[in-house]
Chain A
Amino acid sequence: MKRLLFMIKTSILATGSSLPFHVIALLSPILFFLVFAGQLDKDISFPINFNTTDTPFYQSIDNYRSPAGTPYYEQDNNCTFIFVTETEPLKVINNKLSGSINQKIESIDKNITKNYRNRLTGALSNFFYTQFPEKAIQISETSLYEKDPSWSSFFAASILIFGILLSGLLFGTLSFTREWELNCIDLFKLSPINPIYILSGKFLGSFVKSIITVILYILFVTLKLKMLIFNSPDIIGIIFLAYFTAIIIGMLIGIVLKQPLVAFITALVGSMLLWVLGGGFGTSVGMAKGIQMIININPISKYVKLVLHSCFNGPASLVDVLYPVMILIISVFFLYLKYYKEIYKPQFTSVKY
């Protein structure tokens, strides 16, 4: 037990020798969150410049909102790339909604055109409903989530998994690359201690650091969003399960790759790819079919589902728990095997006389 505690202490104290990596593991998810949340910081409200503001149509815009109550438009007189003008004000004449509307888009991005075209169509449909409620098609909605999770809170939840992946992989990797770098691995080769103690010590050292990282991320997100989305007790189990797997795989990488920089790049690119190809951006729907298949078999997609379930009461099944557990068991087996073969197993070299 004393030896185990010593190994944990050593792992934590070794942070100073690779401080930049630790800082990056801590900052990456926070910056990712800021970048993605910043893309739509006002959620689905888009700025728009209405040139004609004293018409019934313009007044109806105020009620043009998502079911969660978020407005689709936000009048912004400083907006320089989108202008809407009622060239012939919309009004009901002879039981008919008539008028002309012009939308001028000065952006080269087709995505902007799509978004503003959709919003204008929706606004017109909404106005038609106010004029002809008995004729307009109404939609009765049943949603998978009780309330639409906002763009930023969804990313806050999803990026939690990216943060766990990056810090888990990185700390797990560094726990071995440092030993290779300092040639301390020879001591492990000579040590008669059961590999389980060494692996457990290294794992727990990385785990303590990882938990600190994730707590700081959750604190930051809570302060930024001004609400606690990680409020279900399930989240603790998900974080533990994800970290167990990430650290174990990280340790495996560390035994194989040996160099800290190579291991860092592998952990960074690997965690990013696994997260993106694990449905980090949400559903796989709308992506190429091959990508959808990769997402479905990637265990990270299960973690994303579990986090969304925990934070927003999204759908999840037993398979979403069993599959990551199975991956964890396989990873533990391979780590033990690799450590045993590469480090623990007595290696004999012939001596020439």
Chain B
Amino acid sequence: MNFFYQELKKLFRLFISDPKPIAAGLIAPSAVLIIFCLIFGNFSSFPIRILNNDSGDFGEKLRYEIIHQISPLGNNPYFEDITRQKNKTPVCTIIIPPNFSDAIINNHYPMINMDINNFNSDFAKNIRLYLQEGIVSFYSKYYFEWDVDVTEELPKNGQVEWVEIIASGSILLAAALGGMFLYLYLFFKEKHYGTILFYSLSPRAPFPSFLARIFICWGFAIINITINIILAYILTGRNFFTFSHIVYPTLSLVALFFIMLSSLVSTYSKKFLTAAMTTMFGCMLVWFISGGINNAPIDNSSITGAISMFFPNRYALDIIRTKAFYLSSDNVLKNVLILIGMVLIMALISYLALYKKHYKPITS
């Protein structure tokens, strides 16, 4: 116990002597969350210009319908009419011709013109389909020929904004990156100082030392998780602290897995930068392919889906999102067991590797 305590004290001193790993572990997940919030956080209405030249009433009615349809994402209108604001650039300009009402009344192929910014297919698709929302609403109100009833069934526990899903992913990224980077940093610092050599001369078992490293990195991961939960709350309004009893144990398992993975990498890697870059980059990649930024089902038959099965991310995200977003899932217990299994296997592999490389007595 004393060995463990002494190791812990030493590692803590090393940790506080240089703030670099704190910055690296914190910056990446926080930057991901901030960037995605900036891009997808606020669904704001697309600016549109509608030039109504219609001599009848239908042109104005159509204009009204186009700008009053509400998106389920953010509950804002799809379009904002900026016809009178000359300093803004519209995503499209609709021109309603003078004979529009006549064409409707006489069944003579009513037509409108649209100048569209189609810089990519997805964006252009949105503009075209948002416009159809207005047109169909117009049909349903003013066309005798339209009598279609549409009903929609949504999950009974409600839905969430996309950024909240991303936020749950970014907290997981904080858990993985923080502890992992610190482990690498502390280990290579000891390699640099040469103290790692003394362990192989020590008659004591290496387990307390290994445990102390894991413990301090796990502690840092917890701090990292907490900071990112606060950030997620500020940016998205979703309070993951409400589910602390689920979030912390689940993410602790993720953090432990990645800390031990970094132990494995640092055992065999000679250079700190190589180890740090490989693990951080790999971790980001695994995060992306394991549903870090969306909640769509992962296709296990794809290469990325198959790779994601060997990492804890998708199982942990499933648990957190099931609880935080009130989903019904039968997989929670199964996922917890998978996570525990992964951590135990990784602990065994990383400890044995470390023992073999740095502690096992070498006789020549």
Contacts and interface: CB of A to CB of B under 8 A. Distances in A.
B31 A117 contact: no
Interface residues of A, number: 93
B73 A114 contact: yes
Given A27-B281, A124-B136, A107 B296 contact: yes
Nearest to B109: A134
B226 interface: no
A122 B123 CA distance: 15
A282 B111 contact: no
Interface stretch (A3-11, A64-72, A215-223, A339-347): A64-72
A327 interface: no
A100 B148 contact: yes
A143 interface: yes
B126 A118 contact: yes
A120 B153 CA distance: 13
Contacts of A125: 132, 135-136, 139
Q: Which of A27, A265, A285 gathers most chain B CB within 10 Å? A: A285
B108 interface: yes
Interface string B102-141: 0010011111111111111111111011111101101100
Contacts of A143: 115-118, 124
A286 B91 CA distance: 9
A240 interface: no
A102 B153 CA distance: 7
Contacts of B1: none
A281 interface: yes
A95 B145 contact: yes
A19 interface: yes
Contacts of A39: 294
A120 B148 CA distance: 12
B119 A119 contact: no
Nearest to B154: A105
A273 interface: yes
Interface residues of B, number: 91
A308 to B, nearest CB: 6
A291 B138 CA distance: 34
A125 B122 CA distance: 19
A153 to B, nearest CB: 8
Nearest to B294: A109
A110 interface: yes
Nearest to A154: B120
Given A97-B147, A97-B148, A148-B120, A121 B288 contact: no
A121 B136 contact: yes
Contacts of B341: none
B135 A105 contact: no
Contact of A44 (B41, B119, B122): B122
Nearest to B321: A108
Contacts of A140: 111-114
B38 A291 contact: yes
Contacts of B121: 43-44, 66, 68, 70, 148-151, 154
A72 B125 contact: yes
Given A97-B146, A124-B150, A125-B135, A144 B273 contact: no
B277 A24 contact: yes
B39 A287 contact: yes
A141 B296 CA distance: 33
A269 B135 CA distance: 44
Contact of A21 (B42, B111, B273, B296): B273
A260 B273 CA distance: 10
Interface stretch (B157-165, B172-180, B247-255): B157-165
B240 to A, nearest CB: 15
Given A109-B162, A113-B73, A128-B146, A118 B129 contact: yes
A329 interface: no
A183 interface: no
Contacts of B274: 19-20
B149 interface: yes
B295 interface: yes
B224 to A, nearest CB: 16
Interface in A56-110: 66, 68, 70, 72, 80-81, 87-88, 90, 95-110
Nearest to A312: B119
Interface of A: 18-21, 23-24, 27, 31, 35, 38-40, 43-44, 66, 68, 70, 72, 80-81, 87-88, 90, 95-114, 117-122, 124-125, 128, 131-145, 148-151, 154-155, 260-262, 265, 269, 272-273, 276-277, 281-283, 285-288, 291, 308, 312, 314
Which 6 residue pairs are nearest across A and B when measured between Cβ atoms?
A: A154-B120, A118-B129, A20-B277, A148-B121, A104-B153, A100-B149
14 contacts: A20-B273, A66-B124, A99-B148, A99-B149, A101-B148, A110-B74, A118-B133, A124-B148, A128-B145, A135-B143, A137-B104, A261-B24, A285-B117, A288-B44
Given A105-B155, A134-B108, 17 more contacts: A23-B277, A44-B121, A95-B145, A102-B153, A109-B294, A110-B72, A113-B72, A118-B129, A122-B129, A124-B148, A138-B110, A142-B114, A149-B121, A261-B273, A269-B31, A272-B35, A285-B91
Interface of B: 20, 23-24, 27, 31, 35, 38-47, 62, 71-74, 89, 91, 104, 107-126, 128-133, 135-136, 138-139, 143-155, 157-162, 165, 271, 273-274, 276-278, 281, 285, 288, 294-297, 304, 321, 325, 327
